[in-house]
Structure 1
């Protein structure tokens, strides 16, 4: 029987796997892969971030090995996108927004897993960032897309980091952990939405030209 926190984290892992699978399948559609390619991309994206997180935290077994139905969920998402993607006016726009939703679910999932494992604040934040970013990074690299995490204008890492820190701050303020995780996920989505709608960004690094000796 799950307690409140572990049950909520379990639900978040399932939710993030589903939405990330949809994004992976959309990348497969942009690459014009066959249905097996769709399933591969959807599954890889669905479990990529959580797999890296679990390996870093030393969890045994990795979450999708203990819950193989996650791969079936990813496959179902792949079939859905395979048949519906041609109806979408802008697949990339859908990809961006679905990815924002996936981040908002995956980051609190990673934070929750680390909290449930008894780790300290630094590891908790890192676990949230890894869970949110690594699946999308793997998806974009394999799908031959420019990784969103490397686009400074996307605030991708900033959103995940901000959401993880927000969740910890809400816990420190005394909010029950499931509510704090929800607040962290909401922070991720609002930051990402601000980037997509209003172009929020941070100043990019601009190196000075080298000095010449005179």
Structure 2
């Protein structure tokens, strides 16, 4: 896959820190708000660049990947996973020492036709799955009401386990990583960063799975 999502459960974790991480993350939320505006504008620019040239401007690509990378680190520290107590760095660049990493390979060429349909039509099945992960609006009279997604439920379970046992449930972490990995793959596809269609596969665990080497189809005899 051109998208690599890694996360390392950074134990031991504080029993109480997760209660105030929302406060500690306010500076990141403010920065990400403005980065998100720039990300949206630059994605529109990239859309037209791909449509007319078949190429994603590299400087825009690096910036947009940096925004996704920043958001992933904040989610990993905060209420997307609560899997580390190391404060996220304020940088768009890759931070190899940080327990959460996102890398997306730069595409030298992209389909000019596919850019018209992949971000809305082709990605619809994945949007339905991601909505299950992150939650969707529940409707009704209260416009702000929303249904909690699986990520929110599992993070709550992890938080309660930390509070009472000081341990993070490994199965919960692995499942959370699988959902985040799926979501970020879809994001890279929907935001035009790759033409590789995301797999319908929950690759759980902290490390990105290593692809199995392709078989050559050659059968060798004993001793060869």
Question: Taking structure 1 as the reference length, what is the TM-score of the superposition?
Answer: 0.34
Which has the larger share of helix? 1
Query: RCO (CA 8 Å, sep 6+): is it higher in 1 or 2?
Result: 2
Structure number with larger C-alpha Rg = 2
Question: Taking structure 2 as the reference length, what is the TM-score of the superposition?
Answer: 0.33
